[in-house]
Amino acid sequence: MTTIAPEAGSPQQGNPELRALLRQVDKKRHRVDRFMKGLVYLAFVLAVVPLVSVAWTVVSKGIERFNAYFLTHSMRGVYGGMDAGGVYHAIVGTIEITLFAALISVPIGLLTAIYLVEYGRGQLARSVTFFVDVMTGIPSIVAGLFAYALFAVFLGPGVRMGVVGSVALSVLMIPVVVRSSEEMLRLVPNELREAALALGVPRWLVVIKVVLRTAVAGLVTGIMISVARVIGETAPLLITVGVIDSINYNLFEGRMMTLPVYVYRQFQQGLVPCAPDQANCIATITYDRAWAGALTLILIVMLLNLVARLVTRFFAPKNFG
């Protein structure tokens, strides 16, 4: 009643005496109020601390090795504490695998969203909505096991290739695409659909030429954010695609390296034992590479998020959304 939201709307102009009296009596309550306010602010600060710490360490430790050489060389022939090696093969793998995952998930996700918004009624629509939500909770490692099992059943055990990882990622990506696309399609005003239908346009053309076209900026944003979400997945790629030190452009044959797995792999190799008089040997080289790889990965994720936001800002329809 004292300094609360203006919407409270109580006429506070009169009687300062009464207010003073109330405050005196309620000292304890006000103390509790102040205390809880402090706790709530503290909670927010607590959450920001790790974010700042992660961002700061990744940038400060990664920037040292993050250069053109690092980005354009693979790990082929690099051993021990050599001051060499880069991340090119991992970037290639990450881009190919993620793009193929998007190629699988976007049509399925978009069509499902269209179904839910334009056609969905009754039991099927309700259960699809429900299980899309449930699917967002599938652990990434289970998605990886599923993709492995799927290919192992048809191609025999021990298959390691890029496309298996794409399938695993698409299991994780589809629900995200559905959710975001559904939200965007629901923003399209019904008047547009009705106007088009009244002009005699068939339903499917209404969907493609009116609904999708109106929502295209939002859809692109949603898809890019879902790509950013899966591009950092490590565990499913670790068990389906494996690790390799050289460049492999072929999604359908052989192991590939990906950025998150690269970071893990470098971390896992640990400190290099260097002889004290050995030149050209850096003990912490693997950790340095891991941090630089992490920086590369975070930059890609942030870039995707940023571009997604710019797309919404510049291409969104002007009157709504």
Partner 1 sequence: MSTTQSPPAPGPAATSSLEPAGPRRRRRGARSSDRGASRAFRWLATGAGALILILLVAVAVFLVIKAWPAISMPSDELVEKVGLLRNSSSLLDYVGPLIFGTVLAATLALIFAVPVAIGIALFTSHYAPRRLASTLGYVIDLLAAVPSVVYGLWGALVLSPIVQPVWAWLNENVGWFPLFAGKVSPTARVLLTVAIVLAVMILPIITAVSREVFLQTPRLHEEAALALGATRWEMIRMAVLPFGRSGVISAAMLGLGRALGETMAVLMILSPGFLYSFHILEAGQQQSIAANIAAQFPEADPLGVSTLIATGLALFAITLVVNVAARAIVARRKDFSGAN
Q: Looking at 71-79, 81-89, 183-191, 289-297, which segment touches partner 1 (CB under 8 A)?
A: 289-297
Q: How far is the CB of 203 from partner 1 (least distance, A)?
A: 4
CB nearer to partner 1: pick between 40 and 279: 40
List the Cα angle 272/276/279 in 5-degree steps: 80
Residues 81-100 interacting with partner 1 (rule: CB under 8 A): none
When binding is defined by CB under 8 A, the residue of 12, 15, 21, 48 that contacts partner 1 is 48
Q: Is 251 in contact with 264 (CB distance < 8 Å)?
A: no
Question: Exactly one of 87, 91, 92, 171 binds partner 1 (CB under 8 A); which one?
Answer: 171
- Give the contacts of 235 (CB within 8 A, at least 6 positions apart): 140, 141, 144
Q: Which of 144, 318, 294, 274 is nearest to 232 (CA)?
A: 294
3-class SS of residue 63? coil
36 binds partner 1 per the rule CB under 8 A: yes
- Piece in contact with partner 1 (CB under 8 A), picked from 41-49, 65-73, 275-283, 312-320: 41-49
**Whole-angstrom distance, CA of residue 293 vs CA of residue 66:** 8
> What are the φ/ψ torsions at residue 28 (nearest 5 degrees)?
-65, -40
Nearest to partner 1 of 54, 99 (CB atom)? 54
Query: Minimum distance from CB of 231 to partner 1 (Å)?
Result: 8
Applying CB under 8 A, among 18, 20, 46, 275 the residue interacting with partner 1 is 46
- Compose the 228-267 pattern: x for residues touching partner 1 by CB under 8 A, - for all others: xx-xxxxx--xx--xx----------------xx-xx--x
Q: How far is the CB of 270 from partner 1 (least distance, A)?
A: 10
Q: In the bound complex, what is the minimum distance in angstroms from residue 176's beta carbon to partner 1?
A: 11
Report the site for partner 1 in 119-158 (rule: CB under 8 A).
119-120, 124-125, 127-128, 130-135, 137-143, 145-146, 148-150, 152-154, 157-158
* Helices of type H across the chain: 16-25, 27-62, 68-72, 88-114, 122-135, 140-155, 162-187, 190-198, 203-205, 213-231, 235-240, 259-269, 285-315
Q: Which tokens is 124 given? A: 């099927």
Tell me if 63 contacts partner 1 by CB under 8 A.
Answer: no
Measured CA to CA, the distance from residue 170 to residue 161 in angstroms comes to 15
* Residue from 12, 15, 21, 53 binding partner 1 (CB under 8 A): 53
Q: Does 188 bind partner 1 (CB under 8 A)?
A: no
Instruction: Please count the residues of the chain.
Output: 321
Sign of CA dihedral 220, 225, 228, 230: negative
* Complex with partner 1: residue 11 or 276, whichever CB lies closer: 11
CA-nearest of 228, 217, 131, 219 to 173 is 228
Give residues with Cβ within 8 angstroms of 81, minimum separation 6: 272, 274, 278, 280, 281, 282, 283, 285
Q: Which of residues 1-30 bind partner 1 (CB under 8 A)?
A: 1-2, 4-5, 7-10, 22, 26, 29-30
Count of residues near partner 1 by CB under 8 A: 109
Contact string (CB under 8 A) for partner 1, positions 295-314, x = contact: --xx--xx--x---------
Sole window of 64-72, 75-83, 184-192, 226-234 interacting with partner 1 (rule: CB under 8 A): 226-234
**Region 193-212 residues binding partner 1, contact defined as CB under 8 A:** 197, 202-205, 207-208
